[in-house]
């Protein structure tokens, strides 16, 4: 059992009437898991597990690129760093995600062919380089405006800064390739194709000794497509540091379409340079601006500073900074335009934009947006809107019209940035870690990139969808781990960057900082894990480079371990998001108190079986141990000595899956990666009912195993290609909650998977257990705009799952009984594999005569959806009630909710009362039965 996790369910159990308790006892007994054996899952079975998209939307993700039609500015594409590609044809009233099924969601740059607006190119892999940057797999091309895509090569470039298309010949394309993020590779530089991507030639190759140098920016002279300017960027990141400058960073020019290149120098800085951004003035292309990261230090020699950069250490002395330069003669000579540093971290920003209608007006993007109206001499804040800004598009026909992309989405302005409209209708939140509570319905919590921690409903009562107004901000900063006391939802623990931990009282609204301050030398990871003990909800663990423990909800802390990392002094001195030699994951056994597993970013696996008194390093016991970043370690819910660990090699450009299991407290380990594809693993979860049911989230999607890791099966279905950073299984609802880094929350019901075994898959027919369903009472709703995003609720009635080994030609009927009385008949599908149908908690009344059925009724009577009822808490909805009900002592209205596509309108319908019903599946004369429990909403208005 899951100890007090199940105790939390008992808090409301004791308040239920006895008849409901009897129903739940029966249900619980029936729901005991069935042992599994090695078996294969067919796609016909798995494809039925559909994910509900929750959002949120106002809390968006990093937007890095816009491609706007030259002929119609209402048509444009939006590239979200890790969140895929979106398109609007109505100036943002609606957006369509158009890159869901490609092999990557990482977007670097998007471009529309000037000569054919249906031709669109996408360079994949973000060019804004930070710890959560998503890599790509080359360039993609569409010839139908984004409806379909084909990969056109350059898969090993990984991060693409720019795609430039010839203005007259769309077969000619240039690509600025940065190359791999964490390791050197030769696929860096400028590539050119003259046959629409069928073949490529590297036309600019830069090396420093044996090290290859990438290209991050590329602009074309609009008068002459043979004239291009490129900026090289000598950089490499390591898990513990970032080397972001070098002697080979610079500006290059070609006048013959890339055959020959010349490094520009007249008036430009030399020495150790970092990222460089370019802007060309379209009305006079002889005018260009460059923002150059001058990494030289006036207080250090070249050699001293170069050694410092190569070691990836933060500079101890001041550097020159980001300086703006201008040329008026197409790069022959440059002058320094700004007197001092402009903008912020170049590796994350480094963008400069010139107003297409005024060469004296330039913008620099960083944490804020700065503007100069005198060619760079003086600077001021352009506007206060945005935050961590990455892309600014200015309409060449009207400079007042702008699009701005930033860390939490993007916005539109029609008055040069005085006022902005943030787009709330796209779900692209970048979640790092997620959690759930035990409310009815339960809530989900997620820590987001640069947008704090948010709380939202897993579903809403009634038929209204989940809106962004339903989400609550519970902590600021960059959001990471959160944990809710499973015995009392009042207490929420959430953490922002580098271990800034707080305890929220969700009843009073108080937020109290509780981070341990007793040792200033501790190192906390960018995402420092927290854990509530499964044996005592007042006992909290927090990971630094040592393990911290509080027995009183964070009021006091103690260090219960030595340094559990490798503590390499050459690597542990990083700053910002590059702190290293830290704990990244913690798990305590649900079976045996004090058995605690810890994983670190430098590859250590540590175990204590006595609550921290003694620790054992397990690295040497893991076969072929890569000792990479430990992305997750989880103790089994079913066995005290069993645990699972996953390593991610993305910080070493190793994309193989690493996943190991032990069943004897770490003495022996075996790989259970089996047939998993080459996708770095971010998280693993073990089901709470079925110990052989495992899920992993990778940099691309979700995979499932029903045999304890002997074999794996992709479970992507309608989930977009997206990094899955966290997974949680709700212990009461049997929902798999998915936290993606770029597309927010998703949920799918895994109830049937918990029941799968070899014998079941060999049966001709199987009717699965049916989860109890609450007849929710819908509270009053606020009016919202049609443009608002609609997060999907759970099905409003119990979902009935059944398995068919083969497709059946006969009609499938499911009969609903109240005792011995037949009250409804449902028509089901008869496809091979998994099938399902929802019962709308209704019973048939009298049959309607043909005269009583309208023409509109007849049109929709062939649909697949069963009628259902909404229950309202006021007498002001939809006119007169069809019936009065008394639930929770209130007089409520009910309304049968007809929608296009509903069937069965030849009957009158009434809602059923809470109780236990029998579902009978009839297939080829054989009957299969299960119970369906309908519960009252005892949690109304709580």
Taking alpha carbons only, the member of 603, 591, 578, 565 closest to residue 686 is 591
Please say whether the beta carbons of 267 and 326 come within 8 A: no
CA 740 distance to own-chain centroid: 2
- Find out whether 458 and 794 touch, Cβ atoms under 8 Å: yes
Model confidence band, residue 196 (pLDDT cutoffs 50, 70, 90): very high
Same domain? 758 vs 784? no
* Residue 554, pLDDT score: 97
Domain boundary among 762, 793, 818: 762
Kindly state the average pLDDT of the residues 739-753.
98
Return the H-helix or E-strand segment holding 760: helix 758-762
Distance CA 410, CA 402 (A): 10
510 with 615, same domain?
A: yes
Claim to verify: residue 532 and residue 389 sit in the same structural domain: no
The rounded distance, in Å, linking the Cα atoms of 707 and 94 is 43
Judge whether 8 lies within some domain: yes
What 3-state class would DSSP assign to 415?
coil
Answer yes or no: is 791 within a domain: yes
Q: What does the pLDDT read at residue 853?
A: 59
CA distance 458 to 494: 19
Residue 942 within any structural domain of the chain: no
DSSP 538-569: T-EEEESSSEEEESSTTSS-EE-SS--S---T
Give the 3-state secondary structure of residue 419.
Answer: coil
Q: Is 881 a domain residue?
A: yes
Query: Does the residue 940 lie in any domain?
Result: no
Judged against a pLDDT cut of 60, whether residue 860 lies above it is answered with no
Q: Are residues 449 and 339 in the same domain?
A: no
Q: What is the DSSP string of 616-640?
A: EE-GGGSTT----EEEEEEE-SS-T
734 and 831 in a single domain? The answer is no
Distances (CA, A) of 529 to 156, 227, 551, 583: 33, 51, 17, 7
Q: Which of 363, 375, 446 is nearest to 404 (CA)?
A: 363
Q: Smallest Cα–Cα separation from 367: which of 349, 383, 352, 355?
A: 349
Domain CATH for 713: 2.130.10.10
Say how far apart CA 697 and CA 676 lie, in whole Å.
11
Q: For residues 720 and 701, what is the distance between their CA atoms, to the nearest angstrom?
A: 8
Q: What was the pLDDT predicted at 314? A: 80
For 96, left (φ over 0), alpha (ψ -120 to 50), or beta? beta
Residue 188's nearest CA partner among 175, 199, 197, 198 is 175
Instruction: Annotate 441-458 with DSSP letters as a single string.
Output: S-EEEEEETTTEEEEEES
Is 941 inside any structural domain? no
Q: Tell me: do 434 and 514 sit in the same domain.
A: yes
pLDDT of 568 > 80? The answer is yes
DSSP character string of 126-162? -SS-STTPPP--SEEEESSTTSS-EE-S-GGG--EEE
433 and 418 inside one domain: no
φ, ψ dihedrals at 190, nearest 5°: -105, 130
- Is 767 within a domain? no
**Count: domains in the chain:** 3
> Is 660 a domain residue?
yes
Predicted pLDDT of residue 849:
66
**What letter would DSSP give residue 12?**
H
Tokens 């070609």: give the residue: 254
Mean of all residue pLDDT scores within the chain: 90
Of 705, 740, 762, the residue at which a domain comes to its end is 762
pLDDT per residue as tens digits for the range 110-140: 999 999 999 999 999 999 888 889 999 999 9
Residue 939, pLDDT score: 85
Range with the poorest average pLDDT among 701-710, 749-758, 898-907: 898-907
Last residue of a domain, one of 369, 392, 422: 422
Same domain for 376 and 467: no
Pair 741, 786 in one domain: no
C-alpha–C-alpha distance, residues 169 and 257, integer Å: 13
pTM of the model: 0.92
The parent domain of residue 744 ranges over 4-54+428-762
Q: Both tokens of residue 240?
A: 């513990």
Among 81, 87, 88, which residue's Cα sits nearest to residue 63?
81
What does 359-379 look like in DSSP terms, one character per residue?
A: TT-EEEESSSEEEESSTTSS-
Assess whether 179 and 208 both reside in one domain.
Answer: yes
Q: Are residues 666 and 811 in the same domain?
A: no
What stretch of H or E contains 734? none
Per-residue confidence (pLDDT) for residue 759, from 0 to 100: 86
Nearest CA among 137, 214, 134, 224 for reference residue 176: 214
pLDDT at 80 over 80: yes
Residue 938 has what pLDDT?
86
Quick one: pLDDT at residue 668? 98
Write the DSSP assignment of 25-49 as a string of letters. HHHHHHT------S----HHHHTT-
Query: Is residue 861 pLDDT above 60, yes or no?
Result: no
Q: Say what the pLDDT of residue 284 is.
A: 98
**In angstroms, rounded to a whole number, what is the distance separating the alpha carbons of residues 251 and 267?**
12
Whether residue 790 sits in one domain with residue 734: no
């Amino acid at each position: 059992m899951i100890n007090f996790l199940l105790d939390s369910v008992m808090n409301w159990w004791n308040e239920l009437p006895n008849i409901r308790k009897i129903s739940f006892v029966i249900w619980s007994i029936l729901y005991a898991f069935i042992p599994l054996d090695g078996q294969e899952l067919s796609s016909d079975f798995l494809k039925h597990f559909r994910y509900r998209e929750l959002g949120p939307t106002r809390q968006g993700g990093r937007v890095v690129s816009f491609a706007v039609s030259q002929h119609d500015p209402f048509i444009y594409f939006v590239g979200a760093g890790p969140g895929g590609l979106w398109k609007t044809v109505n100036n943002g009233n609606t957006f369509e995600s158009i890159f869901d099924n490609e092999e990557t969601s990482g977007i670097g740059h998007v471009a529309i062919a000037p000569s054919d607006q249906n031709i669109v190119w996408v360079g994949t892999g973000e060019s804004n380089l930070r710890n959560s940057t998503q890599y790509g797999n080359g360039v993609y091309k569409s010839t139908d405006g984004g409806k379909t895509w084909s990969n056109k090569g350059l898969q090993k470039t990984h991060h693409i800064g720019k795609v430039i298309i010839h203005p007259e010949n769309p077969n000619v394309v240039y690509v600025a390739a940065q190359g791999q993020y964490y390791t050197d590779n030769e696929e860096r530089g400028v590539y050119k194709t003259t046959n629409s991507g069928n073949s490529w030639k590297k036309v600019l190759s830069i090396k420093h000794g044996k090290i290859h140098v990438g290209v991050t920016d590329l602009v074309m002279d609009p008068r002459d497509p043979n004239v291009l300017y490129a900026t090289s960027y000598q950089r490499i990141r390591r898990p513990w540091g970032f080397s972001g400058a070098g002697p080979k960073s610079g500006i290059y020019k070609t006048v013959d379409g890339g055959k020959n290149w010349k490094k520009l120098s007249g008036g430009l800085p030399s020495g150790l340079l970092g990222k460089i951004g370019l802007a060309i003035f379209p009305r006079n292309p002889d005018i260009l601006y460059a923002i150059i990261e001058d990494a030289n230090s006036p207080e250090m020699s070249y050699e001293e500073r170069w050694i410092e950069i190569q070691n990836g250490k933060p500079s101890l002395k001041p550097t020159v900074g980001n300086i703006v330069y201008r040329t008026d003669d197409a790069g022959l000579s440059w002058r320094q335009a700004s007197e001092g540093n402009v903008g912020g971290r170049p590796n994350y920003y480094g963008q400069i934009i010139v107003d297409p209608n005024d060469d004296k007006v330039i913008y620099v993007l960083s944490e804020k947006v700065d503007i100069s109206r005198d060619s760079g001499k003086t600077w001021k804040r352009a506007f206060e809107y945005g935050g961590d800004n990455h892309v600014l598009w200015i309409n060449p026909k009207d400079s007042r019209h702008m699009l701005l992309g930033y860390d939490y989405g993007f916005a539109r302005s029609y008055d040069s940035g005085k006022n902005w409209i943030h787009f709330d209708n796209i779900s692209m939140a970048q979640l790092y870690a997620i959690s759930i509570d035990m409310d009815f319905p339960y809530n989900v919590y997620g820590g987001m990139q640069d947008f704090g921690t948010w709380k939202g409903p897993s579903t809403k009562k009634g038929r209204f969808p989940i809106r962004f107004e339903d989400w609550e901000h519970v902590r600021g900063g960059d959001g990471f781990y959160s944990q809710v006391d499973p015995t009392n939802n009042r207490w929420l623990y959430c953490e922002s960057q580098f271990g800034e931990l707080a305890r929220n009282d969700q009843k009073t609204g108080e937020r109290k900082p509780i981070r341990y301050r007793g040792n200033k030398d501790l190192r906390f990871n960018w995402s420092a894990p927290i854990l509530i003990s499964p044996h005592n909800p007042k006992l909290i663990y927090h990971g630094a480079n040592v393990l911290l423990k509080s027995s009183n909800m964070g009021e006091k802390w103690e260090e219960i371990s030595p340094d559990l990392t490798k503590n390499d002094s050459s690597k542990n001195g990083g700053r910002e998001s590059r702190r290293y030699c830290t704990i990244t994951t913690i798990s305590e056994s649900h079976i045996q108190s004090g058995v605690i597993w810890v994983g670190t970013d430098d590859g250590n696996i540590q175990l204590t079986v006595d609550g921290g008194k003694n620790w054992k390093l397990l690295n040497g016991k893991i076969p072929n141990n890569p000792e990479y970043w430990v992305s997750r370690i989880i103790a089994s819910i079913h066995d005290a000595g069993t645990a699972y660990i996953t390593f991610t090699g993305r910080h070493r450009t190793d994309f193989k899956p690493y996943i190991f299991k032990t069943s004897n407290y770490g003495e022996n380990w075996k790989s259970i990666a089996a047939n998993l594809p080459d996708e770095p693993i971010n998280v693993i979860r073990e089901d709470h009912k079925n110990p052989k049911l495992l899920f992993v989230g990778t940099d691309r999607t979700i995979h499932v195993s029903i045999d304890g890791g002997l074999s794996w099966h992709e479970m992507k279905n309608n989930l977009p290609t997206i990094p899955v950073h966290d997974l949680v299984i709700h212990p009461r609802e049997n929902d798999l909650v998915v936290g993606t880094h770029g597309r927010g929350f998703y949920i799918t019901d895994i109830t049937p998977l918990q029941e799968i075994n070899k014998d079941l898959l060999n049966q001709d027919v199987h009717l699965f257990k049916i989860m109890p369903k609450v007849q929710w009472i819908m509270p009053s709703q606020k009016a919202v705009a049609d443009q608002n995003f609609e997060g999907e609720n759970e099905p409003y009635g119990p979902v009935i799952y059944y398995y068919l080994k083969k497709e059946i030609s006969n009609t499938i009927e499911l009969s609903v009984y109240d005792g011995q009385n037949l009250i409804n008949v449902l028509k089901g599908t008869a496809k091979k594999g998994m099938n399902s149908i929802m019962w709308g908690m209704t019973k048939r009344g009298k049959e309607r005569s043909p005269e009583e059925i309208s023409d509109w009724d007849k049109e929709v009577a062939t649909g697949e959806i069963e009628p259902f009822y909404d229950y309202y808490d006021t007498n002001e909805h939809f006119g007169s009630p069809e019936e009065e009900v008394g639930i929770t002592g209130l007089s409520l209205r009910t309304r049968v909710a007809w929608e296009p596509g509903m069937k069965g309108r030849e009957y009158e319908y009434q809602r059923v009362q809470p109780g236990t019903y029998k579902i009978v599946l009839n297939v080829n004369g054989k009957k299969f039965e299960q119970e369906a429990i309908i519960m009252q909403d005892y949690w109304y208005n709580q």
